[in-house]
Chains A and B, each alone.
Chain A
Amino acid sequence: MELIGQGILQAVRLLLAGDAEVWSVTWLSLRISATATVLSLALGIPLGTTLALSRFTGRGFIISLVNTGMGLPPVVVGLFVTIVLWRNGALGFLELLYTPTAMILAQLVIAAPIVIGLTLAAIQQIPEKFRLQLLGLGASHAQVVGMLLKEARLPMLAAVMAGFGAVISEVGASLMVGGNIRNSTRVLTTATVLETGKGNFDVAIALSLILLALMFLVNWALTWIQQRRVV
Chain B
Amino acid sequence: MLFRLLLVVLCSVSTVPALAQSTTVILSTTTSTEDSGLLDTLVPMFEKKTGLTVKTISVGTGQALALAARGEADVALVHAPSLERKYVEEGKMQNRRLVMYNDFVIIGPEDDPARIKGMPKAVDALKRIAETQSRFVSRGDKSGTHLLELGLWKQAGSEPKGAWYIESGQGMGQTLGIANDRRAYTITDRGTWLAFQKRISLPILVEKDKPLLNIYSVMEINPANGPRVNGVGGKAFADFMVAPETQAVIKTFGVDKYGQPLFVPIAGQSEADFQ
Contact = CB atoms under 8 A, between A and B. Distances in A.
B199 A95 contact: no
A98 B17 CA distance: 13
Given A94-B13, A181-B56, A199 B173 contact: yes
Contact of B229 (A87, A197, A198, A201): A87
Contact of B21 (A95, A98, A182): A95
Contacts of B171: 197
Contacts of B55: 98, 179, 181, 184
Contacts of A95: 17, 20-21, 24, 228
Interface in A86-118: 86-88, 92-95, 97-98
B226 A88 contact: yes
Contacts of A88: 70-72, 226-227
Interface residue SS majority, chain A: loop
Contacts of B176: 199
A196 interface: yes
Contacts of A93: 14, 17, 228
Which of the listed residues A95, A180, A196, A197 has the most CB atoms from chain B within 10 Å of its own CB? Answer: A197
Contacts of A199: 173, 176, 192, 195-196, 198-199
Contacts of A92: 227-228
Given A88-B72, A92-B228, A93-B17, A98 B196 contact: no
A92 B13 CA distance: 12
Which of the listed residues A86, A93, A198, A201 has the most CB atoms from chain B within 10 Å of its own CB? Answer: A198
Nearest to A182: B40
B199 A201 contact: yes
Given A92-B228, A196-B173, A199-B196, A87 B71 contact: yes
A87 to B, nearest CB: 4
Contacts of B198: 199
B144 to A, nearest CB: 15
B56 A182 contact: yes
A86 B20 contact: no
A16 B171 CA distance: 32
B72 A87 contact: yes
A58 to B, nearest CB: 34
Contacts of A97: 72
B50 interface: no
Contact of A87 (B20, B56, B174, B228): B228
Interface string A61-97: 0000000000000000000000000111000111101
A197 B31 contact: yes
Nearest to B59: A179
Interface of B: 13-14, 17, 20-21, 24, 26, 31, 34-35, 37, 40, 43, 55-58, 70-72, 171-174, 176, 192, 195-196, 198-199, 226-229
Complex A-B, nearest 6 residue pairs according to Cβ-Cβ distance, in ascending order: A95-B17, A87-B228, A197-B173, A179-B57, A199-B196, A197-B171
